[in-house]
A and B are shown apart, each in its own frame.
Chain A
Amino acid sequence: KNQVEQSPQSLIILEGKNCTLQCNYTVSPFSNLRWYKQDTGRGPVSLTIMTFSENTKSNGRYTATLDADTKQSSLHITASQLSDSASYICVVSARGTGYSTLTFGKGTMLLVSP
């Protein structure tokens, strides 16, 4: 069964600090891995999408890494801001015929405190 596990479940950090969120997956055959940011009461917004051959991808203060051998990904947030307070969701896509199956993690709830 395809699974995506995220840790920690929730996290509180002070404004300006860095943090790293983890995502472990057991999805096969692997196609790509995405990180989404979801503000409370809103729809998720894509941060990054990584394929098998990509190890690191940045989007501003967000840097995602992927280790396809160990099936782990991380999302590093640098110099956190109050607006970073949100749920961060890891999504893994499996290759298939036609429609690609997506497996969603439960998300990490991040609170950035002043």
Chain B
Amino acid sequence: DGGITQSPKYLFRKEGQNVTLSCEQNLNHDAMYWYRQDPGQGLRLIYYSQIVNDFQKGDIAEGYSVSREKKESFPLTVTSAQKNPTAFYLCASTMGSGANVLTFGAGSRLTVL
């Protein structure tokens, strides 16, 4: 079945450590996105990529980094520079631009100890 796979589902990190969240899709979608979800808030865009080897900052990119070396993969690194990294992270993809319906992964919950 086609879809988006995020891993790990749960991740614990000590302060000062970088962590990488994986996002893989087999939908042949062009665009991929990373969102952060905090309790009581709407989803906020971290980074997005419309084509391979190209990506743009979203609204809250500080402390995060991404790469898009393959069409299917869009990993997100949460660096030690991110001041409040504990959150639920969602990866999404869509064919074409964001005007189309987003398909979301199941999410990764990061907790900083």
Task: Give the bracket for the number of chain B residues in contact with chain A.
Answer: 20 to 34
Q: Are B98 and A44 in contact (CB under 8 A)?
A: no
Q: Assess whether B107 is in contact with A41, with CB atoms less than 8 Å apart.
A: yes
Tell me the A70-112 residues at the B interface (CB within 8 Å). 89, 93, 95, 98-107
Is B74 in the interface zone, CB < 8 Å from A? no
Contact flag A43-B98 (CB < 8 Å), given A99-B56, A106-B40: no
Asked if A105 and B101 make an inter-chain contact with CB atoms under 8 angstroms apart, the answer reads no
Q: In the complex, what residues of A have CB within 8 A of residue B88's CB?
A: 41
A35 to chain B, nearest CB (A): 11
Within 10-60 of B, Cβ neighbours of A (below 8 Å) are at 31, 40-45, 48, 50, 56
Residue ranges of B at the interface with A (Cβ–Cβ < 8 Å) = 4, 6, 31, 40-45, 48, 50, 56, 88, 90, 92, 97-99, 101-107, 109
